[in-house]
Homo-oligomer: A and B are copies of this chain.
Amino acid sequence: MPTSIQNVAAQAGVSVATVSRAFNFPDKVTPATRELVERVARELGYVPNASARTLRTQRSRVLGVVLPTLLNPTFAECLQGIAAAAAAGGYAIIPITSGYRLEEEERAVNLLLAGNVDGLILVVSNPSTSTALERLRKAGVPYVLAYNRHPEHPCVSVDSEGAVADVVARLVLLGHRRIAMVSGTLAASDRAQQRYRGFLRGMADAGLAPPPLIEVPFVETAVDAIARTLAAPDRPTALVCSNDLLAIRSIRAAHLSALAVPEALSVVGFDGIALGEDLTPALSTVAQPNSDIGRHSVELVVQALAGGIALEPDASVLLPHVFRAAESCANAPGFA
């Protein structure tokens, strides 16, 4: 039975307005009154009712977060950053996962909007095809996309395309010529598309013909699919993976194919999940500042909220990534 402001007021012998002020504008009441109210409130275990406050002020001080999944540590790390920044700004968060499904993204946005969130951070499958974003814009609720990149939306991301092109260039320098890319379903993610584009560009820049993309729709069959490619006589000597989880599965596929990593096969990931550094072999990867992406996203919407201004696409920011060179990547076999 939560105590209400009424009880505190009665017990303290002041009006509810005074109790409210004592909490929200401590300077607008006499120090004596304030202390009295605070003491009584503490004694009664009074906690302001968030719903009532939200209803009255039309601000919930809650941020909604829509993520594909928490099972990929990338997003878990990002969420950690979001949570920290939100807390620092006096906001609570309510995260919902969409499982990379469009209708779930929409459901999540609806749920969050109904829940009176003041703003949203979201990672969508593909901004171009997202119906949820349209609804969001119409609702007039500030939002920013994390990881996604799109000219019509405010985004916090890294240059995925450039990063992968660089990776290819590095591999070429290490003597690799047969370089293949491993990706999840391209259609399901704008990031996968950007990364693949970077792969194609990198190969073109090196004057190499890109082999067919190894597209693995289901994680369950990923290892098999990759192993199949590794069984070919002209198998690649290096695999560029669209994310770290795929890189880990690539390493497993190599193992099952009796190929040593990195001696017989180099593997490079993308994301920079913390776990990658503890693996054996340690994962070479394009490390994104996952936590910062979250933090920065929050800061953008909090600023918009504070200023009462809309968030425009030109608020977008590209955060720096770094290539984390580690054991899973080395010279091509036979390369001096």
User: Chain A interface (Cβ within 8 Å of chain B)?
Assistant: 1-2, 45, 47-52, 54-55, 60, 69-71, 73, 76-77, 79-80, 83, 92-97, 110-111, 113-116, 138-140, 223, 245, 248-249, 251-252, 255, 274-275, 278-280, 282
Contact = CB atoms under 8 A, between A and B. Distances in A.
Contact of A50 (B52, B115, B249, B255): B115
The number of times this chain is found in the oligomer is 2
B97 A115 contact: no
B47 A55 contact: no
Contacts of A50: 51, 114-116
A55 B295 CA distance: 32
Given A71-B73, A110-B47, A80 B97 contact: yes
A249 B278 contact: yes
A91 to B, nearest CB: 11
Contacts of A275: 245, 248, 275
B94 A92 contact: yes
28 contacts: A1-B140, A2-B113, A45-B138, A47-B114, A48-B114, A50-B115, A51-B55, A51-B60, A52-B55, A69-B80, A70-B76, A70-B80, A71-B73, A71-B274, A73-B76, A80-B97, A83-B97, A92-B94, A94-B94, A95-B95, A223-B278, A248-B275, A248-B278, A248-B279, A249-B278, A251-B280, A252-B278, A280-B280
A48 to B, nearest CB: 6
Contacts of A114: 47-50
Contacts of A1: 140
Contacts of A140: 1
Contact of A70 (B2, B47, B79, B279): B79
Contacts of A95: 95
Nearest to A53: B51
B97 A111 contact: no
Contacts of A45: 138
Contacts of A70: 70, 76, 79-80
Given A50-B51, A248-B279, 18 more contacts: A47-B110, A50-B114, A50-B116, A51-B116, A52-B55, A55-B55, A70-B70, A70-B76, A71-B77, A76-B76, A92-B115, A93-B94, A94-B94, A249-B278, A252-B278, A252-B279, A275-B275, A279-B279
Contacts of A69: 80
A116 B49 contact: yes
Nearest to A78: B70
A165 B67 CA distance: 39
B280 A252 contact: yes
Contacts of A80: 69-71, 97
A219 to B, nearest CB: 9
Contacts of A113: 2, 47
Contacts of A248: 275, 278-279
A248 B279 CA distance: 7
Contacts of A279: 248, 252, 279
Given A48-B114, A71-B76, A255 B280 contact: yes
A30 to B, nearest CB: 26
